[in-house]
Chain A
Amino acid sequence: MAGKDPMAYGLRVLNKLAASEALDKFGLRKYAERAVHGGTKAGFKAIGTAQRTFKKVSGDGKGERPTATAATGVFDLTPTEDQQMIVEVVSEFASEVLRPGAEAADEADDTPKEVLAQTSEFGLSLLNIPESLGGLSEERSAVTGVLVAEALAHGDMGQAVACMAPAAVATAISLWGTEGQQQTYLPAFTGGEVPTAALVVAEPTPMFDPFALGTTARRDGADYVLDGLKSGAVRAAEAELFVIAADVEGRGPSMVIVEANTEGLSVAPDPSMGLRAAGLSRVSLEGARVGADAILGSVDDYREMIRLSRLAWAGLALGTAKSVLEYVKEYVVTREAFGEPIAYRQAVAFTVADMAIELEGMRLVTLKAASRAERGEVYAREAALARRLTSEYGMKIGTDGVQMLGGHGFVKEHPVERWYRDLRAIGVMEGAVLV
């Protein structure tokens, strides 16, 4: 950390956490009602919740940017002290709050507001916002982002996605926003009540390609008019702000900032196989009009966003896969068949060994990609390989996890069936989370 006490960053996170008394509240379980999926029959509707208005600040100048981290040149697998401290805090939150609440959140199709409030209180959305704008970040911290995603998903991937969604929007505006965009939107994310926000890239089409978008932004005078159908939007019914991927006329695939109360924007719940706690939704855009200043970043920035988002999903896969491995390890040494623990059989033991081997490999590749990203090096290849590995072996670990428990794995008495459903999101989801 350039010019700064190396402990400072981690300590500030700890301090925020202590001040929030979040740790004391960890015992509190109070679930929101079925906020998103309660009215599934209603179909698409405009977002009716009270919206905050973002006061437009103009300014086309280049926004503040976190700087790239410096390369050490020494092969090293040790996270920095800051990273270790942050991961420790997040891991505690994940094991005390997310894991115990995972089943109920899955059932409720939403993440409790208290949980979301706790994550914003300890500054999850501030990790990539520059200090000068009220955030915590001096340097780009994709590795920290991956480690945090891993730690959160070790608790529960669905709630982790819900917690990380506003941060994705904040991060996008921090990394690629103009001065005006940053001044307009970031203060809300650094304030007391972090807005619900979603980065929406996916579309419900087979073989979806984020570089060949069906959603368009047509130029109309000084404005752009958006049309199309998006999917994989996290907690969209509650959202106050969206960053939406659209094929922008004259530019190509880009990010567009769309406030939730924009006319022509409507949302509908889209309950899916897993990630139930993330309240996945579709967003419909019919003639939704935005100003030219709503375009976020360049086409190259969009490409970068896709890569960083995939790294976040890879990080999430690591955490859930680790949960599966730990659970299965415990199960196979205690469950008996034919008069001895099933772990004594090679067919079982080797399956568990392979889970550990593949998890190690996909973790290292994900960390390599993230570390290249934060040093400002080319990382398209590594990001693609991390996505490939976490998609294939994350799911393999998920399905083997259920298999090792047999029929018991198939019923909700054990969490492996939920992890199985969540892990299928890896390689399918685009956008939504960022590191």
Chain B
Amino acid sequence: MIYLETPKKFRGFVRQAHDVAAEFLRANSRKYDLAEHTYPKELDLLAALVDGMNESGTGTGAGAAGVRVKDSDKDKGGVRNGSNMSSVLSIIEMCWGDVGLLLSMPRQGLGNSAIASVATDEQLERFKGVWASMAITEPSFGSDSAAIKTTATKDGDHYILNGEKIFVTSGERSDAVVVWATLDKSLGRAAIKSFVVPKSLPGIRVERLEHKLGIRASDTAVIVLDNCRVPAENLLGDPEIDTSKGFAGAMATFDNTRPLVAGMAVGCARASLEVMRDLIEKSGLTIDYDRSPATQPHVVAEFLRMEADWEAALLMTLEAAWMADNRQANSLQASMAKAKAGRVGNAITLKCVELAGNLGYSETEFLEKWARDSKILDIFEGTQQIQQLIVARRILGLNSSQLK
């Protein structure tokens, strides 16, 4: 039966997440926006709390581990609202608080999501408690992940990694980096594997940190791998090069993480919409849902338009997560959600600044900050254009040599 509300069993949890977002994230939002590269120590306490929740089994997937489909989840009859759904709901609340700080949550990095998605049970146990960031992009490529130049050369029971990685979120603060490298450049996508590289190893170093438009609370690092010897058992997934499978293994992570990034955009845009609604109402105008936008003041009509786009983005995000929980292939829906949420999140936050005028543009309000933060959400984990490419190829039945 069609029911598109927050699942009943997660409502208490969502309320808690909202309170946490208000007290820990929103409260420190401007502080770390201004103090870029300063470690947000307030998050240590929060992270410990999340760890405790996950260990006691009451966390319902509050963090990066939530994307793992557990064997115990299989073969249960009926419709499931599981950890993909609760992770997205949690992230929406957290990013209503602050996207940069959510990305800085200890032990909740994208690398942790990758580990949770593809690691063996043994690896999962071994990397427990490790804060893992994710390193894919290199100076010479962005969207074209198959162009990876970083190499991994087998040497006994180790791989030797060489290369330079950029845009590594939490690259400085994390304990380990999930590095994407190629075993054999001539074999193309199938030879690309990911490795958990502890930062304590010799040969891996943080070269520098970026200064950014937004999400300044989150550190974005350049990582250099210089003859870094990584234990062979740190390779995630299948060590064999199966050219028939191509890129599928490595890309599977995205089906789980794209709805999360869509959720970030949904949360961030909701923050802007709430402030905007407040400003509209304080100015003496009423947002009337029953009357046509054409008969209402422009600012109200614009608000209705933004809210409609936001609602669509929210539901598409929840749909993608719901499909993952119910073991339905969701690549298409994950990309559609990311495309819609990414672009409307950015458009909404920017429009709110415009509608609020100098008040919105000033640092006295958060609107300008959210309008800076939202831009990255239409870029990382696959840009708007990459999502459209994926969607188009899927619905038109075209491959990457036909639709380039």
Contacts and interface: CB of A to CB of B under 8 A. Distances in A.
A404 to B, nearest CB: 12
A352 B391 CA distance: 9
B403 A344 contact: yes
B315 A356 contact: no
A318 B306 CA distance: 20
Contacts of B290: 211, 303, 306-307, 380, 384
| Most chain B beta carbons < 10 A, residue from A349, A352, A358 | A349
B308 A343 contact: no
B318 A75 contact: yes
Contact of B4 (A69, A208, A364): A364
Interface stretch (A76-84, A93-101, A158-166, A416-424): A76-84
Contacts of A83: 2
Interface in B194-246: none
Contacts of B308: 365, 384-386, 388-389, 392
A335 to B, nearest CB: 12
Nearest to B395: A356
By Cβ-Cβ distance, the 9 closest A-B pairs, closest first, are A361-B312, A73-B8, A364-B315, A349-B392, A384-B289, A388-B308, A368-B4, A353-B391, A353-B392
Given A354-B388, A380-B289, A365 B3 contact: no
Contacts, number: 168
A77 to B, nearest CB: 6
Given A207-B294, A343-B398, A357-B391, A75 B311 contact: no
Contacts of A367: 2, 4
Nearest to A427: B292
A371 interface: yes
Most buried by B among A207, A303, A360: A360
Contacts of A260: none
Given A361-B312, A388-B308, 7 more contacts: A77-B2, A346-B403, A349-B396, A353-B388, A353-B389, A360-B333, A360-B340
B357 interface: no
Nearest to A384: B289
A307 B389 CA distance: 37
B294 A353 contact: no
Contact of B3 (A73, A303, A382, A384): A73
A74 B79 contact: yes
Interface in B307-326: 307-309, 311-313, 315-316, 318-319, 322
Interface string A337-361: 0000101101001101110111011
B358 interface: no
Contact of A75 (B81, B295, B333, B403): B81
A209 to B, nearest CB: 5
Given A306-B290, A381-B289, A388-B293, A77 B392 contact: no
A87 B309 CA distance: 27
Contacts of B5: 71, 73, 75, 368, 372
Main secondary structure of the interface of A (DSSP, over half): helix
A329 interface: yes
Contacts of A72: 1, 3
Nearest to A304: B290
Interface of A: 69, 71-80, 83, 143, 207-209, 211, 303, 306-307, 329, 332-333, 341, 343-344, 346, 349-350, 352-354, 356-358, 360-362, 364-365, 367-368, 370-372, 380-386, 388-389, 392, 427
A74 B395 CA distance: 29
Contact of B396 (A80, A333, A354, A368): A333
Contacts of A427: 292
Contacts of B404: 344, 346
A78 B85 CA distance: 16
Nearest to B8: A73
Given A356-B395, A365-B312, A209 B292 contact: yes
Contacts of A385: 304, 307-308, 311-312
A119 B252 CA distance: 46
Given A356-B395, A381-B289, A350 B315 contact: no
Contact of B395 (A211, A341, A353, A381): A353
Contacts of B397: 333
Given A72-B3, A75-B85, A76-B79, A382 B316 contact: no
A75 B6 contact: yes
B179 interface: no
A382 B305 CA distance: 12
Contact of B398 (A344, A364, A380): A344
Interface string B342-364: 00000000000000000000000
A83 B1 CA distance: 9
Contacts of A71: 3, 5, 8
Given A77-B4, A344-B398, A380-B290, A350 B313 contact: no
B402 interface: yes
B9 interface: yes
A74 B339 contact: no
19 contacts: A72-B3, A75-B79, A75-B322, A303-B290, A307-B290, A349-B403, A352-B392, A356-B391, A357-B340, A361-B315, A362-B312, A364-B4, A368-B5, A380-B290, A384-B289, A385-B311, A386-B308, A388-B293, A389-B312
Contacts of B391: 353, 356-357
A368 B305 CA distance: 17
B144 to A, nearest CB: 15
B395 A344 contact: no
A367 B8 CA distance: 18
A214 B295 CA distance: 15
A143 to B, nearest CB: 5
Nearest to A361: B312
A80 B1 CA distance: 5
B291 interface: yes
Nearest to B321: A75
Given A349-B392, A356-B395, A389-B312, A75 B291 contact: no
A78 B2 contact: yes
* Most A Cβ at <10 Å: residue of B79, B305, B392: B392
Given A332-B396, A333-B396, A385-B308, A78 B295 contact: no
B3 A76 contact: yes
Nearest to A306: B290
B402 A350 contact: no
A424 to B, nearest CB: 14
Contact of A343 (B311, B319, B389, B396): B396
B336 interface: yes
Contacts of B129: none
A77 B319 contact: yes
B291 A371 contact: no
Contact of B1 (A78, A389, A392): A78
B255 to A, nearest CB: 16
A143 B398 contact: no
Contacts of A353: 339, 388-389, 391-392, 395
Contact of A346 (B8, B313, B318, B389): B389
B2 A384 contact: no
B7 interface: yes
A427 B294 CA distance: 10
B388 A350 contact: yes
Interface in B109-143: none
Contact of A78 (B79, B81, B318): B79
Contacts of B295: 207, 209
Contacts of A383: 289
B398 A207 contact: no
